[in-house]
Amino acid sequence: MQGLLKLALRNIFRHRGRTAMTLASIVFGVVALILAGGFIEDTIIETGEATIRSNTGHIQVARRGYWEYGSQQPEHYLIDDVEGLRRLMAAMDGVADVMFRLGFSGLLGNGRSDWPIIGEGVEPDREARLASYLTVVSGRRMTDKDRFGMMIGAGVAKALKLGAGDTASLLVSTPGGATNLLDFEIVGVFQTFSKDYDARAVRISLAAAQELLATPGAHLGVLLLKDTAATGSAAEALRRQLDGKEFELRTWLDLDEFYNQTVTLYRQQFGFLTAIILVMLLLSVSNTVNIGIFERVSEFGTMLALGNRASRVFGLIVTESVCLGLIGSLLGVVIGVLLAMSVSQVGIPMPPPPNADQGYISKVLVVPEVIGLAFLTGLLAAVLASILPARKVSRMHIAEALRQGV
């Protein structure tokens, strides 16, 4: 085996022109897969972080049945012991912060017209740690000192022609069936990753929302983790803590169907791209390999005439292709990783995704799984391209093979 490997390497470097063409094809395919896979992986991660950091947090806790029936009867699903639940959630490992929200719907008026909104009473300073993907397009972020301050989505601001410093009236129905009205000062206009959310969303302080709705409770407890990758384990641990209680939880993956659909779409696209590149590599590499093999038919005929078995000739040709695949794939990995790191330093400006207002700066991540797949694709293409011609040459009659050199 060692002699076969030495002979294969000698043959590779003896035919430098064909070797360079074959290596160029493999390197191109491997680099293309690394860059495409890294770009798609970054898009998936950015979309997920935008979802988490714009609105959902990592995990949400509510009274059992809230997500199914809370939109019809939200007053039946209020969390009464807010601080007790906060202490339970905050005591878990890996928790960055815990915040509570009180949801409501109503009409926001500017004195001339009204606009239906979906609002949330939030804890502003805690929400500021979460909402790093929430962009303030005018004014400033709300703080705990803004008891009767309000932030509105860009779509709401456009519909009512409101801006920072303006006053708006919020009309809601309390859980008891009464109607309540409060005036708020617009402190800022925000924009998130979701255009639909921005078109209806307003945020006020949790204290103001509790006063407006005449309730001391909240609807949601939102958990912010230090590491998104720990969402699954944190959810399981919290689920055990809440077992037997009247609460249920959902992770950001459960809450965002659009993200799950996007991930499925991108994964399928990358799988299809991998198949296309594999076929292209097969066609390109097989072309150069075939030319090289059939130019050396008389050489292989001489090996057979000297007593070498057909299996040795077959093994030599395949070993040469394995060596080409290994060298080309390694070069492709090195070049691909360097290019990915270089592109990530600069960034790629991207337009807003579907159903979004904001663009973002994309990177090309260095993903070990993608690198492994690209390496195997380059190696597999080289090996598969050599099998049929190697089988044909190794089975040729000795006289016919020698005649090719005349």
d(CA 244, CA 351): 46
| Residues ≥6 apart with Cβ < 8 Å to 212 | 104, 121, 170, 172, 174, 180, 182, 204
Q: What is the pLDDT of residue 59?
A: 95
The most confident of the ranges 51-65, 146-160, 190-204, 341-355 is 146-160
| Residues ≥6 apart with Cβ < 8 Å to 319 | 4, 5, 8
- Cα distances (angstroms) measured from residue 240 to each of 9, 89, 243, 249: 60, 12, 5, 11
Would the pLDDT of 406 be above 60?
no
What six digits make up the tokens of 252? 């950001």
Which 3 state secondary structure label does DSSP give 385?
helix
Q: What is the pLDDT of residue 191?
A: 86
Q: What is the pLDDT of residue 289?
A: 73
Of residues 267 and 2, the one with the higher pLDDT is 267
55 and 357 in contact (C-beta within 8 Å)?
Answer: no
Would the pLDDT of 358 be above 80?
no
Locate tokens 């991930």: which residue?
263
Q: What is the pLDDT of residue 356?
A: 59
Q: What is the pLDDT of residue 296?
A: 73
Q: What is the pLDDT of residue 399?
A: 72
Q: How confident is the model at residue 396 (pLDDT cuts 50, 70, 90)?
A: confident
* Residue 153: CB atoms within 10 Å: 27
| Share of residues in the chain with pLDDT > 70 (%) | 95
The secondary structure of 253-296 as a DSSP string is HHH-HHHHHHHHHHHHHHHHHHHHHHHHHHHHHHHHHHHHHHHT
Q: How confident is the model at residue 286 (pLDDT cuts 50, 70, 90)?
A: confident
| Residues ≥6 apart with Cβ < 8 Å to 359 | 349, 350, 351, 352
Which long-range contacts (C-beta less than 8 Å, at least 24 apart) are formed by 349-356? 350/43, 353/47, 353/193, 353/262, 355/194, 355/195, 355/196, 355/258, 356/193, 356/194, 356/195
Average pLDDT over residues 129-151: 88
Which 3 state secondary structure label does DSSP give 131?
coil
Residues paired with residue 98 on neighbouring β-strands, in sequence order: 223
Would the pLDDT of 48 be above 70?
yes
Q: How confident is the model at residue 404 (pLDDT cuts 50, 70, 90)?
A: low
Would the pLDDT of 243 be above 80?
yes
Would the pLDDT of 373 be above 60?
yes
d(CA 334, CA 31): 9
Q: Which of 165, 138, 167, 143 is nearest to 153 (CA)?
A: 138
Dihedral (CA of 362, 368, 373, 378) sign: positive
44 and 256 in contact (C-beta within 8 Å)?
Answer: no
* Residue 19: CB atoms within 10 Å: 20
Q: What is the pLDDT of residue 244?
A: 78
Average pLDDT over residues 21-34: 89
pTM of the model: 0.77
Domain extents for the chain?
A: 2-51+260-403, 65-245
Would the pLDDT of 284 be above 90?
no
Average pLDDT over residues 80-95: 91
Average pLDDT over residues 240-264: 87
* Residue 273: CB atoms within 10 Å: 15
Would the pLDDT of 86 be above 80?
yes
d(CA 338, CA 34): 10
Residues paired with residue 169 on neighbouring β-strands, in sequence order: 109, 183
- Cα distances (angstroms) measured from residue 293 to each of 256, 313, 317, 318: 55, 11, 8, 11
Q: How confident is the model at residue 282 (pLDDT cuts 50, 70, 90)?
A: confident
Task: Report the residue count for the chain.
Answer: 406
Mind listing the pLDDT tens digit for each residue in 177-201? Answer: 788 999 999 999 998 877 888 899 9
Q: How confident is the model at residue 366 (pLDDT cuts 50, 70, 90)?
A: very high
Q: Please give the mean pLDDT across all residues of the chain.
A: 86
Flag the least confident range among 231-240, 281-290, 323-332, 366-375: 281-290
Q: What is the pLDDT of residue 69?
A: 87
What six digits make up the tokens of 21? 């063409």
Would the pLDDT of 320 be above 60?
yes
Of residues 71 and 323, the one with the higher pLDDT is 323
